[in-house]
C-alpha cells in the first residue's frame, strides 16, 4: 500500500499529494471524511476480490473505501495483489478503466484490464493525465481543504458552507458503506435508486442515489 500510494502521489504531471496515515485494525472498515481508506480482510467467498466504494456529493468524492478480500488471497500471486491494490486506489481517486479488452497489448498501467498482472502493477502517464483533468496541477489551485482553516476533530477543516453541510450530514450517508456489497446477480426489484452503470465479465460498476444530492458508486473486481 505504501509503495502504491507513493506512486500515485509522485506521478508526472504531479496532480495530487497523498499522505499515508496508519490506524489500528478496523474490522468494519469505517469510512473517514475526505479520506481514501484501504482495508483488507477475509470477507468471505463474496464473488469479488477487490472493491472500491465512493460516497459522492454531486460529482465530488467526499469519502472512499477500498477493500481487498483476503479470502481469495490463495488464488492471487503477488503481482495480482499489487495490481488489485493499485486498481482500487485509482477508482478511489475517481478514475475509470484505461481499457477493458484482455486481447490487446497491455497499456502498462493498473487501470487497464490484463491477464498479465506483472505488466500493469503501477499507475501510468495516462492515469496521471486523467487525474490532471480531474484535479488540475497540485500547485495551481483547485478546490482544497487548507490547513489554515478552522480545525475540527478528524483533521477536517471548515472552509465554506458546503463543507459545513457535509460535516453535519456525513454520518447519516456514510452509514451506507456498512451495507453488504451486492453483485448485479444479487439485486432484486426492491433495490430502490440502484442502477448498474457498467458490467463486464470481470468487473461491475453500480450506483445508488441516496438523496439530498448524495450517491454511492461501487466498483467491483470480480473473483
pLDDT tens, residue by residue, 131-142: 999 887 554 443
Q: pLDDT class for 191, splitting at 50, 70, 90? A: low
Report yes or no: 40 and 70 within 8 Å, Cβ to Cβ. yes
Q: Are strands 60-69 and 36-41 parallel, antiparallel or unpaired?
A: parallel
Greater pLDDT, 132 or 157: 132
Predicted TM-score of the model (pTM):
0.84
Q: What is the pLDDT of residue 2?
A: 84
Query: Which of the residue ranges 23-37, 40-54, 147-161 would you say has the lowest mean pLDDT?
Result: 147-161
Nearest Cα residue to 81 out of 9, 200, 1: 1
Greater pLDDT, 107 or 147: 107
Query: Which of the residue ranges 142-151, 163-172, 203-212 would you say has the lowest mean pLDDT?
Result: 142-151
Amino acid at each position: 500500500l505504501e509503495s502504491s500510494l507513493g506512486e500515485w502521489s509522485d506521478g508526472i504531471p504531479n496532480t495530487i499529494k497523498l499522505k499515508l496515515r496508519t490506524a489500528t485494525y478496523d474490522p468494519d472498515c469505517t469510512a473517514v471524511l475526505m479520506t481514501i481508506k484501504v482495508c483488507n480482510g477475509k470477507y468471505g467467498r463474496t464473488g469479488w476480490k477487490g472493491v472500491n466504494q465512493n460516497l459522492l456529493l454531486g460529482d465530488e468524492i467526499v469519502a472512499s473505501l477500498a477493500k481487498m478480500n483476503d479470502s481469495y488471497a490463495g488464488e492471487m500471486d503477488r503481482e495480482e495483489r499489487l495490481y488489485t491494490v493499485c486498481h482500487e486506489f485509482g477508482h478511489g481517486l475517481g478514475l475509470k478503466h484505461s481499457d477493458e479488452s484482455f486481447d490487446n497489448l497491455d497499456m502498462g498501467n493498473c487501470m487497464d484490464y490484463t491477464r498479465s498482472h506483472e505488466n500493469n502493477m503501477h499507475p501510468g502517464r495516462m492515469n496521471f493525465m486523467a487525474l490532471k483533468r480531474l484535479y488540475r496541477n497540485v500547485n495551481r489551485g483547485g478546490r482544497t481543504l487548507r490547513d489554515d482553516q478552522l480545525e475540527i476533530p478528524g483533521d477536517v477543516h471548515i472552509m465554506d458552507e458546503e463543507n459545513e453541510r457535509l460535516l453535519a450530514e456525513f454520518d447519516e450517508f456514510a452509514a451506507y458503506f456498512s451495507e453488504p456489497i451486492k453483485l448485479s446477480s444479487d439485486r432484486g426489484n426492491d433495490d430502490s435508486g440502484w442502477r448498474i452503470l457498467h458490467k463486464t465479465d470481470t468487473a461491475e460498476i453500480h450506483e445508488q442515489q441516496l438523496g439530498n444530492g448524495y450517491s454511492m458508486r461501487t466498483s467491483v473486481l470480480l473473483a
